[in-house]
Amino acid sequence: MHREYQPDELSPLDADPFSAARRDREGGGDRGPYLFTAILGLLLGLDLGRDAIGLGPPPFLPAGLSLTHVAAVLGAVRIVYGALEALVHRRIGADFALAQACLAALVLGQPFVATEVVFIALVGEVLEAFTFSRTRKALGRLVGQAPRTARVVRDGREQEVPARDVAVGELAIIREGERIPVDGAIEEGRSTVDQSAINGESIPADKGPGDAVFAGTLNQYGVIRVRAERVGRESTFGQVVRLVSEARRRKAEVERLADRLARYFLPAVELAAILTLAAGYLRGWPDVWSRTVAVLVVACPCALVLATPAAMLASMAWLARRGVLIKGGYALERLAACDTFAFDKTGTLTEGRPRVASIVPLGGLDEAGLLGMAAAAEQGSRHPLALAVVAGARTRGIEPGPAGDVGVLPGAGVEATVPAGAGAGSGRILVGNRRLLAARGVALGEDVESNLRELDGRGETPLLVARDGAAVGLIGLRDAIRPEAHEAIHELKHLKVGEFAVLTGDRETVARGVARRLHIETVLAERMPADKAAWIRERQQAGRRVAMVGDGINDAPALAQADAGLAIGGMGADLAAEAGDFALMGDALRVLPELVELSRATVRVIRQNIVGFAFGLNGVAMLTASLGLLGPVAAAVLHQAGSLLVLLNAMRLLAFGGWGDLPPVRGLRALGQRIGRLDDRIDPEAARRWLIGRRRPILGAALGLAAMAYAAGGISRIGPGEVGLVSRFGGYRGALGPGFHWRWPPPIERVVAVEPEKVRGLEIGFRGASAGEDAEAFEESGGDGLLLTGDGQLLELSATVQYAIDARRADAARTFALGIDRPEAVIASIAEASVRKVVSRRRLLDLLTSGRLEAEKAAAAEMAPHAGRLGARIDAVLFRAIRPPAAVLDAYRDVSRAESDRRRRAIEAEARASERITLAGAAASTTVGAAEALREASLARAGGRADAFVYELEARRSAPGLSDFRRYWEAISEALADRPKLILAAPSPKPQRLFLTAPPPPPLAPSAATAGDDPSPPQPTASGGHR
C-alpha cells in the first residue's frame, strides 16, 4: 500500500527554468488516496454506527452482507492491485504482506479485519501523499525564480525575446530592478548587483565594464549592457537547478527504514506460513488452514506501516510549536544520523544586513562628525550600505543633516554638498569605494591604505569618506552574527556532532572572521553553489553524514546534496526549502539542537516500534499461531494490540521537551523520592537525642541563618520605570533608581517601589440590596447605596477612575506612597463623594443620554483638587453602567413605556391636526380662486357690454335713422323670440300665402333627459293658403 514516489515525479526541476511555456504541474496532485481513504472510512463508520443503534444491514444489500463487506472488497481490490504492480516493477515491500493479510481475513470471514488493515495502511499513505504534494509544489516554485524574458540588441534595435532564445555573444540590456537573464561581462554602464542569491555575499557588489555578472542576480541601480557568455541551462542559475534535480534523484533512491526492514520480515512471514502448512499436512492437523490464515493475519504489517507515520504525527506537536516544517519521516531518520554540520554564512549564521562596525576618523574629525557627515550624504540613497550608514548614525543619536546637489553613482557611491551651517561636515562630500575617490582625484595616503588593510583583515567592507577633495575617514560595515548562533553550535557539539564548516561565496576574510567568533575551524569561502555541493559530496564519500543549513538559491544544491537539508526562513526561504528537507521558521538556530535531539528520539521510537512490536511481538504471535495456541480471531485481536502498542509508544514523543523533562524538575522529583525513603528509616527518639547533644552549634547556626535572612530582607529590586522611596523610622530618606539596592531591613528602613508614570484604575459602584439580600451581607459586599439624581430619581451606577502619580510635582510620589495610609482607599472615597455630588445636580434622562460625557468630565474636575493634595492626578472618570435600581426596574420600565405611549399619542395628534389644517387651507384656497375667477369674468362681461354700447352710440350719431330702425327690429325680435307669430302680407290683389311659425323646441338638457322629463311636443308648422 505504500506508494514509492519516483524521482521523475519531481518534474518541475527537470523543466527548462528559462522556458516561459514550461509545464506547471505543481498545482495538481493525486487525490486518489484521499478520496479512497475517505470512502472506506465512511463505509466503516456507517456500518459501525448502524450496528451501535441496532439498525442492522442496509436493505439494498443482499442478505448476509454489510457496508463493511463492501469496504473490505474495495480495499482488497486496491491493495492487491498495488502489490501486483509492485511485483511487476520488481519491488517487494510492506504492500505484499498487507495484501496477504487482507485476503486471509476475507477467507476467514472477517471483513472488518480486512477493512481495518487496508484503512490503517491508507492513513499512512495519505500522510506521505500530503507531504509529497507539498514538496512537489514547492519544487515547482524554484523554476519560477528564473527570468522569463530578456532584452537584446538585434539588427540595431532593442527587442524583447524569451530568455531561452538569447544566443551566446548577443548584447543583453538590463534595467534597474530587473534580474539578469544570462551569464556574461558588462560592456557598458555601472550598477550595484545583489548576488546573494548565487554566491551568498551579504553586501551587494559594485559592477562596471569588464566585471562578470550571473543569471538570476538582481540589478539594483542603473542600466547595464551585458555580453552573453552562458545562457539557459548552461548559465549559473541553470546549473543550480540541474544540481538540485540530480541531488534529489539520489535522495529519492534511498529506502525508508520500514521498507528496508520489510525485505527481511516478508520472507520470514512467507516461510512461517509455508512451514505451518507443510507441518500441518505432514502431521495431519485438521485445522491446518485455520492456523496458516492465523499466521498471515497476525503477521499483517500494520505495526510496520504505522511505525514511521505514528512517530511523525507525535513529533508534529513539537515541530508545530517550534515552527519547523518537514517533508517526510525519512528526513528525521537522516538528520538523526548526521555527524557533520555545514552552515551558509549570509542569512544563516549572520542576519544578512550590514551594520556599522567601526569608524576611523582622519584629519581632525571625531567619530560622530565623520558618521554624521557620511549619513547626511547617504540619506538620499537606497543602497544597502547607505541605509546601514544612516541607521548607524541614528542608533548613535546622530540625526543626519540636510544635503543638496546629491548624486548617486551606481557602482561607486554618492556625492553631495552639505551646507556650511550643518557643522563640521560641511562642504562637498564623497562617500564610496576607492574607484570613486580615484575618479574625483582624491589621493589616498599611507594612513588610509593601512586602515583599509586593517578593515579588510577584520572582514569589514570599507566606505571611504572625502570632503573637499581630501580623505577624512573610513567607515567599516559588517554583517552581524545572529545572537543565537554561538549557543546553537555549542549545544550541537555537546550532542556529539564532530565537524562544523562554513560554506559561503563571501570573501575569505569575512568568512573567517565569522567562523573565528563561532569557534568553527573549517571555512570554504568565495565558493559557487556547485562548489558547496561538491564539498558535501566529498565528505559523504569519506563516510560522513552531512547536514546543511542554508537560506537561499546559492545553498539549494548543497541542501539537496546533504543527507539532511535545513532551510532557514527569510529571504530566499522558498528556494532553499524546495531543495532541503526541513524549513526552520522564527529563531531557526535556537531550535536546531532540539530538532537534532527530537530526530534521534523519533528514530529510537521508530526502531522500537519496528523491532519490538512489528517484528518481536508478531514473531512470537506467528509461532503461537502455527502451534495452534492462537486462533484466527485471537490473532486478529493480537494484531490490533500490536498496532495500539505502536501508537502508545509513539505518543511518548508528545512529551518531548516538556517541562516535566527539564533537569530541575527531574532533580526535585528524585529528591522527593529520596526523602520519602528516608522518612521510613528515621527514629524520632534518636533524632531528638542527636539534636539535644548538638544544641549549641545548631543554635549558633540558626542564629547565623536568621541574621543572614534578616540582612537579605534589606535587598530591594527597583524595576525599570520605578522609583524606590526610602523611609527610616517613618522619615523620608531619599529615592532609589532602577536596579538592586541594599538598605537596612525593616523595621529600621522601609523601601516602597512606585511607578510614577503608571496609570492606575479604580473601580467604584453604587447599588442597592437585591431581593432577599440581607442588609449586613450587602454592606460586607461593598454596596455603597443608591444615587439620587437632581430630579429625585434613584439609580445604580458603576464607574472606573483612572489616575496616576502627578509627575509635575517633585514630592508627589513621596506624598502618595509615604504620606498617606492606603491611598487607593482615600481616592476611592473622594471618587464616591464627587460622583454623588455630580449626579445630584443632574436629571436621570441627561445622565442616560447626552449629558453622560459632561457628567464624567465634571466628576473628574470635582476630584482633581482633592486628589492633587494626595500627590495624584485624575486622568478620567468613566461611567461603565447607569441603570435604575433592580427593585424598581419593572416600575421604571412601566413608566418608560407610559411616557413613550404619551409621546407617541401626542405626535399622532399633532399629525392629525396638521393634516386637517392643510386640508382646510387647500379648500379655502380653492374657494378664493373660484371667486377671483368669477369676479374677473363679470368684469370682462361688463366691459364688453360697455364697449358695445359706446360703439352703438357712436354709430347712431353718424346714422340715427338706420340705427333706430335696426334697434327697433332687434327689440321686436327679442320680444317675440319665444312666442308664436302670424305674419300677414300687405293687401294685394294677388293670392296671399299664410305662414304660421312656432319657436323651435328648446334643446334637451342632459339633466332633464336623465330625469325622464317629457318635453312639450313641438308646435306643428303648417302652410296653407287662406284668403
- Tell me the chain's radius of gyration from C-alpha atoms: 52
Write the CB contacts of 948 (distance below 8 Å, at least 6 apart in sequence).
none
For helices 329-336 and 588-607, what crossing angle results, to 10°?
100
Distance CA(142)–CA(577), nearest Å, equals: 9
Cell numbers that stand for 609 in this block: 516500534
Distance CA(316)–CA(324), nearest Å, equals: 9
- 1000-1027 as b/e: b if 16+ CB within 10 A: eeeeeeeeeeeeeeeeeeeeeeeeeeee
Predicted pLDDT at 93: 61
Q: Is the distance from CB of 374 to CB of 429 less than 8 angstroms?
A: yes
Q: Is the distance from CB of 643 to CB of 302 less than 8 angstroms?
A: yes
> Which of the 8 DSSP states describes residue 327?
S
Phi, psi for residue 23 in degrees, rounded to 5: -75, 135
Cell numbers that stand for 157 in this block: 534595435
Write the CB contacts of 500 (distance below 8 Å, at least 6 apart in sequence).
340, 341, 342, 343, 489, 492, 493, 520, 521, 522
Question: In the chain, which residues have pLDDT < 50?
Answer: 1-15, 20-29, 131, 135, 138-139, 142, 250-255, 570-573, 659-660, 662, 665, 668-669, 672, 676-677, 679-680, 771-783, 995-997, 1004-1027
**Residues facing 567 on adjacent strands:** 550, 583
Strands 350-361 and 404-409: unpaired
Q: Is the distance from CB of 978 to CB of 1009 less than 8 angstroms?
A: no
- Strand extents, DSSP E, 893-973: none
Closest CA to 326 of 136, 135, 601: 135
Q: Is 795 left (phi over 0), alpha (psi -120 to 50) or beta?
A: beta
Distance CA(1014)–CA(416), nearest Å, equals: 119
Distance CA(432)–CA(410), nearest Å, equals: 10
Other C-beta atoms within 10 Å of 980: how many? Answer: 10
Write the CB contacts of 172 (distance below 8 Å, at least 6 apart in sequence).
150, 151, 152, 166, 180, 181, 182, 184, 225, 226, 227, 228
Q: Annotated catalytic residue: which of 47, 344, 551, 784?
A: 344
Residue with cell 454592606: 779
Cell numbers that stand for 458 in this block: 577584520
Active site residue 366: no
**Residues facing 474 on adjacent strands:** 360, 464
Distance CA(75)–CA(265), nearest Å, equals: 23
**Greatest Cα pair distance in the chain:** 196
Q: Is 29 left (phi over 0), alpha (psi -120 to 50) or beta?
A: left
Q: Is the distance from CB of 630 to CB of 358 less than 8 angstroms?
A: no
Residue 871 CA, distance from chain mean position = 45
Cα 286 to Cα 283, 623, 994, distances in angstroms: 9, 18, 157
Query: CA torsion 715→716→719→724, rounded to 10°?
Result: -150
Cα 312 to Cα 309, 315, 357, 647, 842, distances in angstroms: 5, 5, 44, 11, 69
**Side-chain-facing half-sphere of 136: CA atoms under 13 Å:** 21
Cell numbers that stand for 1025 in this block: 293658403
Q: Is the distance from CB of 610 to CB of 342 less than 8 angstroms?
A: no
Predicted pLDDT at 94: 62
Distance CA(316)–CA(334), nearest Å, equals: 17
Phi, psi for residue 834 in degrees, rounded to 5: -65, -40
Write the CB contacts of 211 (distance below 8 Å, at least 6 apart in sequence).
185, 186, 205
Distance CA(634)–CA(629), nearest Å, equals: 9
Cell numbers that stand for 730 in this block: 517613618
Q: Is the peptide bond before 747 cis (omega within 30 degrees of 0)?
A: yes
> Which of the 8 DSSP states describes residue 8?
G
Cell numbers that stand for 671 in this block: 529528591
Q: Is the distance from CB of 483 to CB of 322 less than 8 angstroms?
A: no
Burial of 232 per CB tally in 10 Å (0-12, 13-18, 19+): buried
Burial of 865 per CB tally in 10 Å (0-12, 13-18, 19+): exposed
> Which of the 8 DSSP states describes residue 30?
-
Q: Is the distance from CB of 172 to CB of 205 less than 8 angstroms?
A: no
Residue 23 CA, distance from chain mean position = 31
Burial of 632 per CB tally in 10 Å (0-12, 13-18, 19+): buried
Distance CA(716)–CA(363), nearest Å, equals: 50
Q: What is the pLDDT of residues 41-51, one digit of tens each?
A: 777 777 766 66
Q: Which helix (H) or strand (E) holds 988?
A: none
Strands 350-361 and 981-983: unpaired
Per DSSP, the three-state class of 408 is strand
Predicted pLDDT at 889: 64
> Which of the 8 DSSP states describes residue 221?
S
Q: Is the distance from CB of 208 to CB of 224 less than 8 angstroms?
A: no
Closest CA to 82 of 66, 104, 62, 98: 98
Distance CA(191)–CA(223), nearest Å, equals: 7
Cα 372 to Cα 414, 464, 972, distances in angstroms: 15, 14, 127
Give the DSSP letter string of 515-538.
Answer: HHHTT--EEE-S--HHHHHHHHHH
Predicted pLDDT at 501: 92
